[in-house]
Chains A and B, each alone.
Chain A
């Protein structure tokens, strides 16, 4: 006779299960988000993360086991990033006309994001490694990893801080934009992509393709700008 625990052990070792669980949890989170009037506090990514982390802790499943299945979803981030070329192409005329605002706002915004985070952490006596790890936090995580390594932070901590920034940004930034009464898709998308990289871009795409194109553009430019700027600034101190 097949023991239930045996079945569980066999089944949980299979990557398929964690794909199914991730998709099921996310689908449930999307429904919940809709029921709750799309409040950013219950964004599906946030809810799914909390539920899945809870599930892994409850079943004492190591993250590596979870990722053996979830990696197939994670892998699609690469192709999805390439696919942003399509909305960028669709809105290229607008983007070309606005190259000056885009460039200036990106330099100012990328600098503010990094500098404010470092200054606040420094005021509260954080370790030097923490300061260096927090500087690239507004950048999409693969770029942030490289920057952190270059300037002497902890790359893993930086990757974690990018995640926290993405999650918190998708909660806070829409509220800031609402309070400032900013409604045009270009500005909304640009600010979301600049401050909260991929998480912000995902949120902007929910608002529309034009916002998504500006978010993708801001995410890429901020990554590039920060990758050039931070190692130079770090060398000064």
Chain B
């Protein structure tokens, strides 16, 4: 458990340090995730202490967004002037992007899987 926590925090730290020192355009934790994935792929297994920590964090991921979500209260002024345009733009683009992405991804997936099966046969 402690080791797992150490693993996760250590990779976050490495990610943050690399992002700051190299001026990379992505958040430290995302780089930390990539680096940890690379290490795991090399070891070919997940230490049980890391799995315990990862399961606990990811099972409650939604909760972790609550404090930032409440932060919307700070932006009421900025959102007030054009709120209905913003709302409309976000609703339309979310539905549109979900539709197109699902269409493209599902179609390519089907094509690749049917080709894979034909190849296996």
Contacts and interface: CB of A to CB of B under 8 A. Distances in A.
Contact of B58 (A112, A205, A223): A205
B112 to A, nearest CB: 6
Interface residues of A, number: 109
Nearest to A219: B30
Interface residues of B, number: 72
Interface stretch (A4-12, A34-42, A181-189): A181-189
A228 B104 CA distance: 21
Interface string A15-46: 00000001101100000000000000001110
B102 to A, nearest CB: 5
A101 B86 contact: no
Contacts of B97: 109, 112-113, 116, 138, 194-195
Interface of A: 22-23, 25-26, 43-45, 48-49, 52-53, 56-57, 63, 66-67, 70-71, 73-74, 76-90, 92, 97-98, 100-102, 104-105, 108-109, 112-114, 116-118, 120-121, 124-127, 130, 134, 137-138, 140-143, 146-147, 150, 154, 156-157, 159-161, 163-169, 172-173, 176-177, 180, 182, 184, 186-187, 190-191, 194-196, 198-199, 201-203, 205-206, 212, 216, 220, 223-224, 227-228
